[in-house]
Amino acid sequence: MEQYSDFAIKTCNEFKKVQEKFVETYDLNSYTEYFYDEETSLITFKKPQAELNFEYIPIGSYSNSTRTWLWSWNNKELVHNNKLKTLLVKKFGEKYKYSELTEGYFDADEFIGWELTSITFDLIEAIGSYRIVNEHNLEIYFLITDKIENNFVEELKKINKSKTEKLIECEKHGKSRNAFICQHLNEKEKTGFEESFESEIGMYLEEDEDLSAWCNKCEERRNKDDGWNDENMQIAKIKLVCENCYFGIKEFNKK
Ligand SMILES: [Zn+2]
Ligand SMILES: [Zn+2]
């Protein structure tokens, strides 16, 4: 098994080239202004007569004052509807036992931001990254996933905003996307895990798409009845949970 430090150095070196190319392709350094919006997950670069928009995923942040790193998936304050995509990095870290990728918050030096950005880029499809340093000397790292054509920006803003408005507040996980499960699913006993479609944490969801799952018994009943009806829905008693809780239960059941 590769040591974490070897893996990190290799990944950083590869990413450096990609990132330089990204900045060059879009001539990012020529822009004089930028702003970003948590609700829409869009970052906009501006200069006279030109505007450039990208969709992004927040990776995490490094605080220069406390010298700590905080992963986005562990940041309860963050309202992004796509922040849990970064849990794919955690999953990878669990497989290889890299604690930098599995701990949500830890002490680190100033190199950690680009290091973890490189690794995230390696695991999640994207075109580049961007770092912002805010007024509190907090470095915020974005994974840039897509360039958005100017004539699609307003529409995408609306779509992403309505997704953000739908976020629920989970006691355990903070702001999260919603999901639905039958009353029998839990993290204590295995009940089976049937889904309306195959899912992966942080996956892209259309506005009208919701993660939903139910137990084996509900599935048997549903098959017998040829689909959901009032009666078997009474048994299932579908309830609302957060996306993070949903995948916790899924993983428990698949063990
Ligand atoms: Zn059930
Ligand atoms: Zn939760």
Is the same domain home to 42 and 98?
Answer: yes
Is the same domain home to 101 and 20?
Answer: yes
**pLDDT at position 184:** 98
| Helices 87-96, 112-123: inter-axial angle, 10-degree rounding | 90
Q: Give the predicted TM-score (pTM) of the model.
A: 0.88
Looking at 161, 192, 209, the residue that finishes a domain is 161
**pLDDT at position 79:** 87
Is the same domain home to 153 and 200?
Answer: no
Q: How do the pLDDT tens digits run along the chain, 255 residues long?
A: 789 999 999 999 999 999 999 999 999 999 999 999 999 999 999 999 999 999 999 999 999 999 999 999 999 888 888 899 999 999 999 999 999 999 999 999 999 999 999 999 999 999 999 999 999 999 999 999 999 999 999 999 999 999 999 999 999 998 899 999 999 999 999 999 999 999 998 898 988 899 999 999 999 999 999 999 999 999 999 999 999 999 999 999 988
Is the same domain home to 119 and 215?
Answer: no
Nearest bound ligand to the CA of residue 242 = 2
**pLDDT at position 80:** 85
Looking at 126, 161, 196, the residue that finishes a domain is 161
**pLDDT at position 63:** 97
Range of the domain at 125: 4-161
113 in any annotated domain: yes
Looking at 127, 161, 195, the residue that finishes a domain is 161
Is the same domain home to 34 and 90?
Answer: yes
Counting beta carbons within 10 angstroms of the beta carbon of residue 124, is it exposed (0 to 12), middle (13 to 18) or buried (19 or more)?
middle
Nearest bound ligand to the CA of residue 234 = 1
Is the same domain home to 110 and 138?
Answer: yes
Structural domains of the chain, count:
2
246 in any annotated domain: yes
Is the same domain home to 149 and 124?
Answer: yes
167 in any annotated domain: no
Token readout for 88 is: 């794919």
Token readout for 215 is: 């137990």
137 in any annotated domain: yes
Is the same domain home to 147 and 197?
Answer: no
Expressed in angstroms and rounded, the spacing between residue 79 Cα and the centre of ligand 2 is: 14
Expressed in angstroms and rounded, the spacing between residue 28 Cα and the centre of ligand 1 is: 52
- The 3-state DSSP class for residue 152 equals helix
Q: What is the four-CA torsion angle of 24, 29, 32, 38, rounded to 10 degrees?
A: 70
Integer Cα distance of 204 and 216 in angstroms: 26
Integer Cα distance of 175 and 2 in angstroms: 35
Is the same domain home to 33 and 146?
Answer: yes
Nearest bound ligand to the CA of residue 213 = 1
The amino acid present at 151, given as its one-letter code, is N
**pLDDT at position 255:** 80
73 in any annotated domain: yes
Is the same domain home to 118 and 179?
Answer: no
Expressed in angstroms and rounded, the spacing between residue 78 Cα and the centre of ligand 2 is: 14
